[in-house]
Structure formats: structure tokens, C-alpha cells
Amino acid sequence: MDVDSRKRELVKEFSPMLLRSTKWSKIWIGTLVGFILWGLVAFVIQVVKGHEVTGMRDNVVWGIYIINFIFFVCLSYSGAFISGILHFFKTPWKNSVSRIVEIITVVSLIIGPIFILLCIGRLDRLHYLFLYPRIQSPITWDIIAIITDLIGCFIYLYLTFIPDFAILRDNSKDVPEWRRRLYTFLAIGYRDTPTQRNRLHKITRIMSAMIIALAIVAYTVLAWIFSLTLQPGWNSTIFAPYFIVAGLYSGVGVIIIAMYLIRKYYKLDHYIRKVHFIGAGVILLVISLLFGYFTFSEYFSRWFSHKTHDADLLNTLFNRYFWEFIFANYIGVLVPIVILFFKRFRTIKSITFAAVIAVLGLWLNRYLIVVPTLETPYLPIQDTRPEFIHYSATWIEWALSFAGIAAFVLFFILIMRLVPIIPISGIIDYEREGKGGTHDVTQYQLK
């Protein structure tokens, strides 16, 4: 079978994913839109009435908005790092998961900064951050890092999409005219000639190296927002590598969950195979060991130092957030390790379950970094009213949080309706290079 025939065959195989909508998919998209509309209502109420409708007060000035920001931004950075590694080192099975990772990277980098805007009480003064930035402030550094990373990730994602845009442009017959025109525009004249192919591969490889560097820098700058303060619980020299490991932990977990859902819903068992889950599970195991080590070092040093402010913070954690502490730092770390350490437990469902536990534990870990620390300030609290001392998220904050998650999933689905989730160009390149001398998908995946 020649290359052109193979392209038409693959386009025909993936066309149902791009063009057809089932009853359940419409219900699912409608549910996501409902959550987003619910969030918009909450946003309007917050803008009209101010932050008094949230649980944030003078003492606890950050709540689950900033926690969601950290989670999504770290997710995007980890996705960029993992995607860069897959492309730079030409990992044999990258084509089964690379596009999932790339889409997660860009979508989470769009959703994450939105939660920062929700923390701002005066959105009409947002432009001052850009007109009068203070280069001494780590927050300014973070804004620069996020914008730079967003631009870099968009360029990188677009470069990886170009070959598939060209394939869909040339081989899609029964598609709406607007979709064909869109593919033609986005393909920017790419014809898959040897010269164009080599040039695109070279540019993509360079961009993958840049993305890796940007991810490390961005992780570090985000951690510095906390660690460069004198606040107990934040002022730590290991926060930068701790955030890097935590970001990778959440990133690999979300990737595994996405792999499971996409494999199950779109019937891609012959592309996303058990071997990919085992590989991702082993990576998650290694990262969970590192994350557990950093978490233990962080809390052990505070406990052993017997400093007054550190002791106050630990008392707050153990008294008010005991079960959250247990889930985040014990269940969220030890359960994935136990499941993934033994080979007989490494099934697709058990690996996915371990990833869910890891992601939930990581989110709670971010919560314990932000809220209990702000509830334990240096200066004694004069106001004895509990609502001004302790933080409890309101329905407004939860509505906007779930709206953010729904928007993340909806954007992911919309991008999957634009291009196949398994890169057609990756399969063609693999077969063109003669790996295994066959078009058999099983050999392609198990290389």
C-alpha cells in the first residue's frame, strides 16, 4: 500500500471521531456547558457584590482560586516538559500519547491564569500589571513566564498539527466546506515533501528543547512567589524542585486518566495499549517516590526545628486539617506507590485508579500549602470572629472551580473534533521509516 492510500485509510478510520456526534456526546457537552453557565452566574454575582461573597478575607487572602491556578499551571508546565522529552528523544511510543499531552498543556495554560483574574477585586485595574510592573516582584516574573510559555506552547502545538492539517486537507471528501477551508488555511501550504518534512522535524525538535527549558524556568518562578516570602510554611529552599516534582506528579496522573477515558470512549484499544499504561505507571511510581521524599523532608524539617511559627503551622494542620493532611501526604502518595510497585497490580484500571488518587492528593497538598499557612500569620490575630480567621470556600468559588474544570474538558473535546487524537502523520512517518517493514498497528505500538 502506497503512502497516499495509507493516508486515506487512516483519515477514514478517524473521521467518525471528527464528524459524528452521538446522543451521549451531546448530553456530555450539554452538561459541560451547563457547568460553565453556572460559573458565569457566580462570576456576575462576584463582580456585582465583590469578594464578600467568597470565603476570602483580610487574613486568608487566597483561596481555592489560587490553588486551582497553581494546579492548572503546574499541569501545563508538566505537560510541556513531558511532551518536549517525548519529541526530543524520539520515544518510540510517543505517537499514542503525545497529542494528549500537547492538548493538556495548552488548554490548562489557558484555564489556569483565569483563576488569577478571579482573585483580583478590581479587574478594571488589571492593565496596571503591564503598564507599571515592578521587576523586583516575583509575581511580575511569573506573568512574564506564563505569557512566554503560552506563546511557546501554542507555536509548538501548531507545529505538531501542521502535517495532520495537510493530510485532512487532501483526503477529507465528505466534510463541510468550512472545515476544508480551515484545514487549507492551517496547513500553510505544507505538501509533505522531503525538504518540508526535514525542516519541520528540525524546527519541532528545537522547539521541544526550548519547551523543556521554559517548563523548568516557569516551575521555578511559580515556586519563588511563595518561597521568597518570610511566611512560615512558604519560606523554604526546596520549594522550586518540590514544585517541579509535584507538577510532574499531577501531569502524569492527568495524562493517565485522559488516556483511559479516550481509549474507552473512542475504542482506541489498538493504539493506546496496556504497554503505554504500564510505562506511564512506572513513571508515576518514580515521581511519587520523589514527591513523597520532598514532602517528608519539608514537614520533618519544620517539626524538628521546634521554631514557634513552624510549630503553630503544624498545630493548625494536625488540628483543623488532619484528614486532609492524611489524604494528601499519606494516601495520595502511598496508595499509588503500593499499586504501581507490584507488577501483578499494574492493570489498566488499577493504574488509572492510582492516578486519580495521586491527582486528588496533589490538589489537597496545594490546598494545605496555601490556606493553613495564611491562617497562621506572624502577627497575633486580633479579630476573634471565626469567619475572619479561618477560610471556607463558598458556593461561588466552587461553581467557578467546576466551571473551570468543565471548560478544560470542553476545550479538550473541541480540539479532538478538529484533529485526530492519534497523530496520523506520526503513524505515516513510522511506517515510512520501515520500522518492522509492515503497516501492522500492533508492531507499531509495541516497538
Q: What is the 3-state secondary structure (H, E, C) of 330-393?
A: HHHHHHHHHHHHCHHHCCHHHHHHHHHHHHHHHHHHHHHHHHHHHCCCCCCCCCCCHHHHCCCC
- Mean pLDDT per 10-residue segment, the chain (447 residues): 79 79 86 94 90 83 89 84 77 77 88 86 79 81 83 87 89 82 90 89 87 83 83 82 89 92 88 88 92 90 82 85 90 92 90 94 91 78 62 91 94 89 82 53 41
Cβ pair 325, 318 in contact under 8 A: yes
pTM of the model: 0.89
Q: Tell me, what's the pLDDT at 287?
A: 92
> With DSSP H G I counted as helix, E B as strand and the rest as coil, what are the percentages for the chain, rounded to 5?
80, 0, 20
Q: Tell me, what's the pLDDT at 61?
A: 84
Q: Tell me, what's the pLDDT at 401?
A: 93
Q: Tell me, what's the pLDDT at 444?
A: 41
The CB-side HSE value for 19 (13 A sphere, CA atoms) comes to 16
The CB-side HSE value for 138 (13 A sphere, CA atoms) comes to 14
